[in-house]
Chains A and B, each alone.
Chain A
Amino acid sequence: MANHSLALRHQFDDVEQQKDASTFGMWIFLATEVLFFGGMFCCYTVYRSRYPMAFGNASNHLDLILGAVSTAILIFSSFTMACGVNSAATGAKNALVGFLSLTILFAAAFLVIEMSEWHMLYKEGLMPGFNFTYKEFDPGHVQLFFCMYFAMTGLHASHVTIGIGILAVMAIRAWRGAFGPEYFTPIEISGLYWHFVDLVWIFLFPLYYLIARHLQG
């Protein structure tokens, strides 16, 4: 592709069609992702409705403040990402690189916090399959809570990690001047992906940290 700013692939008639198609394709992919996480959300919902007390007891083993802080950090990263898209659209190359780097930084901070929480749970004997020694209230279903917790936050964390990779590539490309006001579809699409990652966490946070805390048996 000689001319990046007008990178029109042969199957498209014009840039507009290409851009529309790419964004639309990303949205379909995100719909797929909704259902991908959806299978796990479905498991969560069923078990939460059946064993509220076990979920309540388990939920109190999570650190609410850490959860809230990581939520805020992800929202921060979403904000910087959105600003990055704005910079790309206005052709502010340095700002774009800066915002992308900030986003990556926040994403990494999120992962660090999440892993420290995992480590804590592991040490407390609340990690099914590795170290699960919980014996108090209804251990089988508390185990279920943590299975779903690790499965869902794990899947989410893998999305964050992939996101960091994508954003790093985008930052390098942006730094080399691949994007401008006429062509920044990749930035926009990566942005959509990143906001989706934030979106998932917006639901994971209340489901695991908030809505069962008051139930204790």
Chain B
Amino acid sequence: MITATVETRDNYLTHEYGVKSWLLTKDHKRIALLYLASISFFFFLGGIFATIIRLELLTPPGDLVSAQTYNKLFSLHGIIMVFLFLIPSIPATLGNFFVPMMIGAKDLAFPKINLLSWYIYMAGGACVLYAMLEGGVDTGWTFYVPFSTSYANTYVILTGVGIFIAGFSSILTGLNFIVTIHRMRAPGLTWFRLPLFIWSMYATSLIQVLGTPVVAVTILLVAVERGFHLGIFDPALGGDPVLFQHLFWFYSHPAVYIMVLPGMGIISEVVSVYSRKKVFGYRFVAFSSVAIAVLGFLVWGHHMFVASQSVYASLVFSFLSFFVAVPSAIKVFNWTATLYKGSISYDTPMLYAFGFIGLFTIGGLTGTFLATLGFDVHVTDTYFVVAHFHYIMVGGTLMAYLGGMHYWWPKMTGRMYPEGWAKLSALVVFLGFNLTFFPQFILGYLGMPRRYWAYPEEFQVYHVLSTAGASVLAVGYLIPAAYFIWSLRYGKIAPDNPWNAPGLEWQTSSPPPPENFEITPVVTSEAYDYSILEEMKVG
């Protein structure tokens, strides 16, 4: 093993200094950190909006903020969290950093485009921020017409342009990953030797590349319709608002998988490493990612069962929706089976993985509820849906993201995070999350519609629970933010392979050198082969 200390080795952080060296960098690792800083900003911004929303909902009447302000808050919460946090979250940070490293490449295929995509993202984010400062937007993140085109009096076009621009950042990231995974793999690294994180990133990229343009053009049409008073979707002039919903959900349903598939990839890595076992049913898990990406495009109409879609179409979409549940179920079962006879340690990433599997199971099962035609009629557009997608996106994606951050933090920064605090925060996040969102399932079944600023009194009990949970959850997110920053300076120096993991990213120094590997690695075994590590130690 290499014995030199971190300080003496050239790494990507110390290779160059100065603002310019960051803003003009073409190094995927540095770009990943640029993304990390920007999405963290948007996450906390969206989080502040969520906090105000929860405080408003503590009491039935609308007493904290005005109705208009409340509508802007939930719209911006949705827009920022979906388009500026969740969609870029794992792909643009951890994916950007580790896709090349895990396949033994020096960089992504198109480093300049990678940097460009960050600038595009920032431009999109700036548009949304500017619209927010000017007065915000109150259409909800779904921009349903004709409200968004003809009735809203807020900054719809500017926000739409922001999302349109940010969409291209997402497309370029996906494009870069697909080419990189196809063309840049290390010698010997065949498709079925790839880590499952790579498979999931590949599937995610497919959706980004093939889905995003449709929502981009849809939002463009909304902006044009609003700007020039056309009637593309507005029925008052001859258009059809349901067509907008089709186009919107063609992307925005698969977008859910853009958010959760990378999380699934992280969980596959983490579950394997901390039980020191190969992922059970590797091929099933790998193919299930691709299956989710493809099938995910066939089910969007389950958002429209009561939107005056034809009964026949609803029937087809409901039927197809159950097919996408199958690969998700396969993943959950295979992760569970991986634990069997493993050597399980309870490091923080593993705690997050346990949390993910549990919460994703609940989120997934309630997802099949929502695909069930009759049931959906009652709960669609209620808090049941709110709870369901927060279980997937916060309980799923965000838990995985935090798990992945802890797992790879030593590699990214060369420092360890404080294990005790990390375990505590994992627990706080898990408890806070459930307290926040579980009551919302009941609220939804009771009939509490979503996007309500004020509500009848009988719903208050659950809202109080939810707000209490949200405050716990907020603490749970602030703790890691604090200790991650703390660890940059005071954390223990991380060894190259603190978890004894077999992935290629762990076979180089922490933090990695600018070109990732001093010599291009040659792969001779399948992923998650722990016997190799044993031999290396002995030898």
Contact = CB atoms under 8 A, between A and B. Distances in A.
A26 to B, nearest CB: 9
A32 B209 contact: yes
Contacts of A199: none
A39 B231 contact: no
Interface in B212-253: 212-214, 216-218, 221, 224-225, 228-232, 237-240, 243, 246-247, 250
B238 A144 contact: yes
Nearest to B231: A143
Given A11-B107, A129-B230, A28 B175 contact: yes
A15 interface: no
Contacts of B224: 151
A97 to B, nearest CB: 26
A46 interface: yes
B15 to A, nearest CB: 13
B214 A147 contact: no
Interface stretch (A17-25, A61-69, A98-106, A113-121): A17-25
A47 to B, nearest CB: 8
Contact of A140 (B214, B225, B237, B520): B237
B497 to A, nearest CB: 24
Among A13, A17, A147, max chain B CB count under 10 A is at: A147
A43 interface: yes
| Interface bracket on A | 35 or more
A36 B217 contact: yes
Contacts of B120: none
B95 interface: no
B341 interface: no
A147 B231 contact: yes
Nearest to B107: A11
B298 interface: no
B209 A31 contact: yes
B178 interface: yes
Given A42-B247, A46-B243, A151 B178 contact: no
Interface in A76-94: none
B183 A43 contact: no
B217 A40 contact: yes
A35 interface: yes
B210 interface: yes
B213 A35 contact: yes
A139 B218 CA distance: 23
B232 A148 contact: yes
B179 interface: yes
A36 B184 contact: no
A144 B230 CA distance: 8
A143 B175 contact: no
Contacts of A144: 231-232, 237-239
Interface stretch (B34-42, B57-65, B108-116, B444-452): B108-116
A23 B286 CA distance: 27
Residues of A contacting B: mostly: helix
A43 B210 contact: no
Interface string A54-77: 000000000000000000000000
A37 B105 CA distance: 34
A35 B232 CA distance: 19
Contacts, number: 113
A151 B227 CA distance: 13
B213 A10 contact: no
A166 to B, nearest CB: 15
A38 interface: yes
A130 B210 CA distance: 33
Among A20, A37, A129, max chain B CB count under 10 A is at: A129
B253 to A, nearest CB: 15
B515 interface: yes
A31 B211 CA distance: 10
Interface in B135-189: 171, 175-176, 178-179, 182-184
Given A21-B184, A129-B230, A144-B238, A38 B214 contact: yes
Contacts of A36: 213-214, 216-217
Contacts of B238: 139-141, 143-144
A39 B217 contact: yes
Contact of B229 (A12, A28, A38, A129): A129
A139 B48 CA distance: 47
Nearest to A43: B243
Contacts of A39: 213-214, 216-218, 221, 247, 250
Interface in B198-216: 209-214, 216
Contacts of A35: 210-211, 213-214
A206 interface: no
Contact of B213 (A12, A38, A47): A38
A17 B240 CA distance: 47
A175 interface: no
Contacts of A17: 183-184
Contacts of A151: 221, 224, 232
B188 to A, nearest CB: 14
Contacts of B231: 128, 140, 143-144, 147
A182 interface: no
A203 interface: no
Contacts of A42: 214, 243, 246-247
A61 to B, nearest CB: 16
Given A11-B109, A39-B217, A129-B230, 8 more contacts: A11-B184, A13-B520, A29-B175, A35-B213, A42-B247, A129-B229, A130-B228, A143-B230
14 contacts: A25-B113, A25-B176, A25-B179, A29-B175, A31-B210, A32-B209, A47-B240, A50-B240, A139-B238, A143-B231, A143-B237, A143-B238, A144-B232, A144-B237
